Structure formats: C-alpha cells, structure tokens
A and B are shown apart, each in its own frame.
Chain A
Amino acid sequence: MLCAMVIQEISIKEINLGDERFRISEDLDSAPVLESLREIGQLNPVLVLDEDAGKIIVCGFRRIRAMRKLGIPRVFVRILPGQSPDPVRAYRMALWDNLAGRQLNPLEKARFLYNLRKNFSVADDTLAKVYLPLLGLNPAENVLESYLLLHAIQPALRKCFLDCRLTLASVEAVSEMPATVQNRIASLMEKIRLSASLQRKFLGLLQDLAAVSGDELDVPVRSPEVLEIIEDSRLSPFQRGEKVYQFLYNLRNPKLSQALAQFLAKRRSLRLPGSIRISAHPFFEEPGVRVEFEAPDVERFRDLASALEEAARQPELRELFCVK
C-alpha cells in the first residue's frame, strides 16, 4: 500500500538517472509514453526512493526518459517513506506496476530476476519458488538458470530477439556461448532469416558440427561458402537462410548428401519426361524407388509407359537402386 507516501513536485535534475537498480523495461524509449506526456502531461507520479546519492527511480524509467526528451523540467514523484525501505518490496511494487499495464518480455523478466539476485541478494531458491511463478514461469532451477543466462547476452543478440529475428529458444541456446560467438550469430542474422523451426535445426547442426570438430559453434558459418551466400544480393534473406542451412546440412551429412546427389544425377540420366516422378524413400532408409505418373488419356499413358520401358533398358537404372 502506498497511502503513507508523499507526492511532491521536484526538479527532474534531483533524480539520479544513472542508478538502474530497479529498472525492468528493456526499451526505455517508448513512443506511446512520449506522445501521452506531450498531449496530456504527467498523470501518474513516478515512484522514487530517497537516497544520499539522489532520488532513485523505482517505477517510471520510461516516463522520466520521455520527460527529459520533451524538456519538462519538473516531475511529480511519490517518495517511498522510511529511513530504510525494503528494496525488495520496492522492486515488487515496480513489477506490479509494470504488470498492471502490459506483459513483460523474456528479457525484462530476466532483468528482474537478475536484479533481485545481484542488487538485492535474493537467494536462488526464493527466486525459483516465489518469483518465477510471479512472472508466469515454471518454478524450476533450470528455468532460473536459463533466464539468468538470458540477461547476460550480448546487446546484438538482444536486438535480434527484440526484432524477432531469433526466437527465445534460439537466444537461450546461443546465450551459453562466448560473447564473440553470440555477436557473430547476431551479425549473421542481420543477413539471413530463418523460420522458428529452421532456427532450431540450424543451431542443432552448428552444435553437432562443433561437437565433431571441437571448434567454436560459429566456425562453419564463417566459411567462404557461407560468406558467399550471405553476400548474394540476388537472394532474399529467407532464401539466404535456406541456402546456409542446406550448406550446413550437407556439411553435417556428407554421405547422405552425396547419396542424394548421386540419385538425382542417375535419375536425370534416365531422361524421363518430367511428368514421371521417381523418388527414393526418405533418407534411403528403405531400398527401392517410387514411380508415379498421371495420364489424362490412353495416348499419354502409352507415351509414358514407353518412356519407362526405354528407361528400363538403360544400364544406369540399376545404379538408381544402389545407395552407397
């Protein structure tokens, strides 16, 4: 309850903008907040904590930022009373204030947990049991661990996530990597786009390739072949993404890729009409091929059957069934 607190109008200069202990918002530059202040001024006071170093913002980072941009010199604040107010309680107020108006994104949830731990010494056990459910998260230690890692990701990766170029799962996977790797992945994502499912497969391939080679995760995407793809201006970001993925897939599965290339080459060598489709079992897991064609009339049927008969006489046919 805030009833005992005093509302004052103070100079915005009295506020210590450098202290972000209570910050939750990821993006402090909010256009709607700026527009609202410009149109109707400040309706709700900012919540501050009075400390020796100045007045510390508890709730209202975005409002203060917008007011400074608008050149508003004085600000209504609500000052938390008492000589030593409980900072954890104050931070909970900030959380509830935020939750009342919007949903927090994962980076904001991560910041909240990180600040509770680092600035206010809340134990991991309490974070997991009390605060994760408050944020709508599963109260498990591994969830806490993931979110703390998420808070520590590089700015470029944060931007990737906020721009929806990487999913939360992808960011979490990359968050365990060194800063240089995070930055290179973020840089790659500037050039390519991958669907959520392809991101998962893409990172899986990188992990597998790293496990095979013992190199850093991003080494394969620094190869000349990948650089050539991502610099190809004729391709859309999604097409580049597909091509990079395919390159990594072939790198990861050389025998399968080779078998597929051989199969396609042998199939071409049979010179069958395009309306006859010959396909292998997925991944060549079963032997044999599937042959399909459609004939709208008897003549076409006879044509296609003749083409197949011709193909049956070719020695290359046998090789179509041979997977090496």
Chain B
Amino acid sequence: MNPYRPKRILVQEQSWKDSTTREILDRLPGVAAETFSDLESGPMEGSRTPYPYAKDTLILMRYPGRFLKQCQGSGAEICCNYFVVSYAWNCHFECTYCVLQSYLSNDALVVCTNIEDLLTELKDTLEQSPGRKFRIGTGELADSLALDHVTRYSQRLVPLFAALPNGILELKTKSDQIANLRDLDHRGHTIVSWSVNSKSICRTEERKSASFEERLAAAVQCEKWGYKLGFHFDPLVYSEDWEEEYRESVREIFRAVNPGSIAWVSLGALRFPPRLRELVHKRFPKSRVTCGEFVPGHHGKDRYFRPIREAMYRKMHSWIQTEAPGVLIYLCMENRAVWEQSFGKKPPDASQLSDQLDSRVFPGS
C-alpha cells in the first residue's frame, strides 16, 4: 500500500494556532502549503477539480462543532449503540463503492487540527456518564489509520481511552498503517478493526487500500501487541463466485488470528444511495459493484434483494462459526427478519446486542 502524500496542503488561518498543524507539515517536507482564511470563500470555491486529482489536496482546518455523534445506524430495529468521532473526512483509497463519493461536498482530504478539543470533549463526555459504556469509532467519514503516518492521532487517542474505564476506541481501517500503535499502553481499550473482503474484491474494487494479505498481516501484528481485533465483512459484494471467494477469506483470517483475540465480526451486504450508481459507472467503468440485484431499502439506500442478503449472511455465519466457534457475529443495519433468517435464531433485542458487544470488550461486563 502506498502511504498518502498530498501534492498541496491548504491550511486554514485559525489552524496555525494548533501545534498539530506544524507537526503534520513537518511530516510532509517538500509539499507546498497555502493559507486560507475561510473555507467558503477560500481555496475550495471554484477550485473543484475533477476526480481523481483533487484527493492530492490535503486541507488542515479546525472543526468548530461537536466531534462525538451517534452512528447513523442508530434508531434501527436492532442497533449496536455505536458512537463515532470524525476528525478527518474523505479517503484516498478510492474504493469503487464508497459512499463518501456522493456524500462529501469536496474531493480533498480534510484533517481537523484541533485534536485537543476532540480529546477534551471525549474525556468530558465519558467522565460525565461513568455508568454508561461507550464504544466509539473513528472510521465513519475517513479511514481510521490511512492518514495516521501524517497525523499520529492514534498516539493521542489510544492513551486517552486507556485512561477512560467506560470507553472503547475502535480504529477501523483498510490500511496496514499500524506502526504508531506499537508500544502504546492501550490497556485493552482499543480495538483495531479491519474492513475485509474477498481477495478479488480487495484487488478490483478496493485497489488503493492495503491488499488482503497486508491487512491480515497487520492484524496479526496488532494481535501480538495485545490489541483485540475486529473484522468487518462490509460490504459483502455478490458475484457468481462469491461463495468460494469469501469462504477462502474467512478461512485465512480465522486461521491466522486467534479467535480469542477477536472482539467482534460484523457482516453487511453492499448498500449505497441510488445516486452513487451513476458516479460508479462514470468513475469506475470496470467496476462490478452495481451488477447485483438491488432494491430500495432503509435510509433510502439500494441494497441486495433480501433473499440474496440472507443467503450471504447465512453462509458467512456458518463458515465463521466453523472456523471460530463462539466469536460474536452481528449484522449491520438489518431488520429482525433478516437476522432470524440468516442466523436461524431469534435476534437480540435492541439493547441486548449492545450489551453483548460491550461484554466482549469491557472488563467485568
């Protein structure tokens, strides 16, 4: 995997007061940096360059709002009660199915420099609710580790969570950028998770992210450093050969890592907003991700016809159970009927899933 290196950096004027701005620039010697005063009237206006070039631009700016939010899946029939913090937006991996293509208003990568505000907000929020458990991910609007060689934010976040008894940090990634996690005193409060797929999907639809083998090697390394691991088979992409291909991925993953080190495994079939289809056709004419049989589903997203999803979940569940009995598997953004049909048993209630996930990671739960 090639680490991200921008061609130009745009620094919001107010960001210069954050020490992280200078640190990030120091890690990118030779890259021209310009200052702008306001994002609306500044460098972004009129400078929207066509895909894929604009991702060469890195914007450093302050985020004035709250960082901690509930996951967009919250409120679903079966909800895992997850929280997200977003300190970076966009990703250079160019996965063909990525929803960020249609979701974000500009193509540049953005990193928030007021990380101190984020750390303070997290600390205050968690300390104010000591009886409540928080599982918090950073991989909603960006890959958790893809820019870590530039930001080193993991070195700020992991120790913070180690000191918060009611907080678990999940770093969700398709990268192999784990160097900064080494030697951190995480105290079991950080889960390093990989979004994984079949080798063929990794190769063809996730071309700029780490290969399947690189991701797995990174996971094995993190396991050796004592981190608990997560695996997210999301999105599962249907193809004629999907069974053979995913079976192989499952076998390799669960034979490479100790099932006892796995906090959880999630399954989620491909889904996307309808407008993404046109973008995929335009940007990635060779992509096959739009080839399945899709129907309109929850949250206005297209998803595979229900029996197709259920068949995929059922088989994945069975393969994973065979390789790693007892590992916690859950479905992302699916209803009770799909859970029942896929796993052959009554699904957990709304709060039960959250409790089950908590029990995997919070000591004494």
Residues of A within 8 A of B (CB): 140-142, 204, 207-208, 211-212, 252-256, 259, 282-287, 323-324
Contact = CB atoms under 8 A, between A and B. Distances in A.
Contacts of B297: 283, 285
B277 A284 contact: no
Contacts of A211: 281, 287-288, 290-291
Contacts of A284: 295, 305-307
A255 B307 contact: yes
B98 interface: no
B50 interface: yes
Contact of B305 (A208, A212, A283): A283
Contact of B308 (A140, A212, A255, A287): A255
Contact of B293 (A141, A204, A256, A286): A256
A208 B291 contact: yes
Most buried by A among B278, B295, B296, B306: B306
The 10 tightest CB contacts between A and B, nearest first, are: A283-B295, A287-B337, A212-B291, A256-B305, A253-B293, A255-B305, A211-B291, A255-B293, A207-B281, A284-B306
A254 B238 CA distance: 14
B293 A254 contact: yes
Given A142-B50, A207-B281, A259-B307, 6 more contacts: A140-B48, A208-B277, A211-B281, A253-B293, A283-B297, A285-B297
26 contacts: A140-B48, A142-B50, A207-B281, A208-B277, A208-B290, A208-B291, A211-B281, A211-B287, A211-B288, A211-B291, A212-B288, A212-B291, A253-B293, A254-B293, A255-B307, A256-B295, A259-B305, A259-B307, A284-B295, A284-B306, A285-B297, A286-B335, A286-B337, A287-B337, A323-B307, A324-B307
A39 B305 CA distance: 66
Interface string B307-331: 1100000000000000000000000
A254 B295 CA distance: 12
Given A212-B291, A282-B296, A286-B337, A141 B306 contact: no
Most buried by A among B291, B295, B305: B305
Nearest to B286: A211
B96 to A, nearest CB: 11
A248 B242 CA distance: 25
Interface residues of B, number: 19
Given A142-B50, A254-B293, A285-B297, A204 B277 contact: yes
B295 A285 contact: yes
Contacts of B293: 252-256
A83 to B, nearest CB: 39
A207 B291 CA distance: 10
Nearest to A282: B296
Interface of B: 48, 50, 277-278, 281, 287-288, 290-291, 293, 295-297, 305-308, 335, 337
Given A141-B50, A211-B290, A283-B295, A323 B281 contact: no
Most buried by B among A141, A142, A211: A211
A287 B176 CA distance: 41
A285 B50 contact: no
A141 B46 CA distance: 11
A212 B335 CA distance: 29
B49 to A, nearest CB: 8
A211 B281 CA distance: 8
A285 B306 contact: yes
Contacts of A255: 293, 305, 307-308
Contacts of A140: 48
Contacts of B307: 255, 259, 284, 323-324
A61 to B, nearest CB: 35
Nearest to B337: A287
A255 B305 CA distance: 8
A253 B50 CA distance: 33
Contacts of A259: 305, 307
A260 to B, nearest CB: 11
A282 B278 CA distance: 23
A323 B290 contact: no
Contacts of A285: 295-297, 306
B271 to A, nearest CB: 12
B76 to A, nearest CB: 13
Contact of A253 (B277, B290, B305): B305
Contacts of A282: 295-296
Contacts of B287: 211
A191 B307 CA distance: 37
A69 to B, nearest CB: 45
Contacts of B296: 282-283, 285
A10 B297 CA distance: 70
Contacts of B335: 286
A204 B295 CA distance: 14
Contacts of B277: 204, 208
Nearest to A207: B281
A323 B305 CA distance: 10
B50 to A, nearest CB: 6
A282 B303 CA distance: 13
